[in-house]
Structure 1
Amino acid sequence: MTRFSDFVRAGNQGADPATYEIENAAMDPDGTLWAHLSSVAPWAGRRLLDLGCGSGFWLPRYAEAAEVIGVEPDPELLPLARARPGGARVLPGSAEHLPLPDGSVDVVHARFAYFFPDPDFDPTPGLVEVQRVLATDGALVVIDNDHDDGEFADLLAVSPWAAKQGTGPHIRRWWRERGATSEPVLSSWNFESRADLEAVLRLEFPAEVVDPWLTAHPHRLGLSYGYVVHTWRPRGPGRHLA
């Protein structure tokens, strides 16, 4: 089994894949985010890589692609991803270690995985590797949490677990310096039951953050959720890695 020395298991999906499945199912119920992703880098008839695909929840959604590839470093999640319908090819790997030939994909999606710089982490090596596997007219699309808009952002702002999560000014600046565009997309979470909502919130946040919110919103089954979508095309004016 392939293992990566720099791999760090995710505290949400890696710790509790079943609850994270509920979270994924609640995301973007109206398709607002999904429509935006399709508009900035269409994948119909193209080769798509879901980088950090986790348990593979989103792999079947790319049915219009000519080829779907999932890459995931967590050995516990790989069997779950391979069991998804749709016939995606799922491989062990990471942003810095992509098991793919040069120029072999057209669109790369990275959802809440790797490409978020902070003072202790520089994602440039992964960006270099993505550039290697992208075709000439390819695009990397990175989906992150928005720190500025939505009720989820309010929870992030008071969570000690989220100090380095979500797109703030320094992450926007990092992407801008590399020629990327960064666009906010306001969507939501919508759960089938109160128990599902509570389970997911407790997966993502500590009790001192979750309990006051639940008390203040006793009948809610969802909340507004802001994303930031960074789109980077490795070839063209202003595109560089430094």
Structure 2
Amino acid sequence: MDFPDFVRAGNQAVDPALYDIENGAIDRPGVLWSELVRLAPWPGRVLLDLGCGSGFWLPRYQEAAEVTGVEPDSSLLDLARDRPGHAQVLHGSAEHIPLPDESVDVVHARFAYFFPHTDFDPTPGLVEVSRVLKPGGKLVVIDNDTEEGEFADLLKASPWAATQGQDTYARDWWTSKGADTTPVMSSWEFDSRADLEAVLHLEFPRDVADNWLRAHPDRVCLSYGYLLHTWSRD
């Protein structure tokens, strides 16, 4: 049973296998991953992947002492549990984390829940993360940069951009909560043109995706900017 306030994702829940291809194209140079390690190291610590989806990233955290994935979409739980490694996967959400108080050192939220915009305030989830974090623990939110990079241009061309507020809305919201924001420019790099086309059609309206594809007929990659919002519990 899913949570009453849960909204199923329009990408991963629709096609988990294609979403794995999308994840595999993220940050192949490792720039984003290096920044995650620098901002909140997890070797020997307890890490929570909040909104872990089908668990694509769980095997990457093997140096952590403990790894927990929490996911609200019950249809993705078995996929996450089948990933290699020692992670436990629990049914929960940002507002309902099934872990004890002060039990986690590092929380990663990757493209999930913590996207503040004019129609949504993620403060309840931040309060819940604060509950499970140990004093001095860190939340790192991996968000899309809506200003820099070709991916940002696709976002701006999409109809839902109107609900996001000004380009700096998310950054300003996190600043108001005491977080630091680190921009990272990396890329999406696909193994084939067919994979790129399929993922763009999964993530964007067909006309937006097709316009970009026509303008870049030989490309299998594009620049992709990220914002890493790092919030520390006192």
Q: What secondary structure is seen at the aligned counterpart in 1 of 2:196?
A: helix
RMSD, aligned α-carbons: 1.3
* Aligned twin of 2:210: 211
Name the TM-score, length of structure 1 as normaliser: 0.94
Contact 1:56 1:81 in 2 (8 A): yes
Shift in alpha-carbon separation, 1:7–1:167, aligned structure 2, 3 A? farther
Q: What secondary structure is seen at the aligned counterpart in 1 of 2:225?
A: strand
2-structure distance, mates of 1:210, 1:4: 32
* Aligned twin of 1:114: 113
Shift in alpha-carbon separation, 1:48–1:164, aligned structure 2, 3 A? farther
1:86-112 deviations in whole A, cap 9, x for unaligned? 020000000000000001110000011
**Residue 74, structure 1, aligned to residue 73, structure 2:** yes
Q: How does 1:1-242 map to 2 (within 5 A)?
A: 2-164=1-163, 168-235=167-234
2-structure distance, mates of 1:60, 1:166: 35
Amino-acid identity (%): 69
1-structure distance, mates of 2:227, 2:164: 12
Contact 1:147 1:167 in 2 (8 A): no
Q: CA deviation at 1:27?
A: 0.4
Contact 1:68 1:89 in 2 (8 A): yes
Partner letter of residue 72 of structure 2?
P
1:92-138 deviations in whole A, cap 9, x for unaligned? 00000000000111000001111122232211111010000001110
Name the TM-score, length of structure 2 as normaliser: 0.97
The number of residues matched between the two structures is 234
Q: CA deviation at 1:165?
A: 5.7
* Aligned twin of 1:239: none
Segment drifting more, 109-118 vs 65-74: 109-118
Shift in alpha-carbon separation, 1:164–1:144, aligned structure 2, 3 A? farther
Contact 2:151 2:222 in 1 (8 A): yes
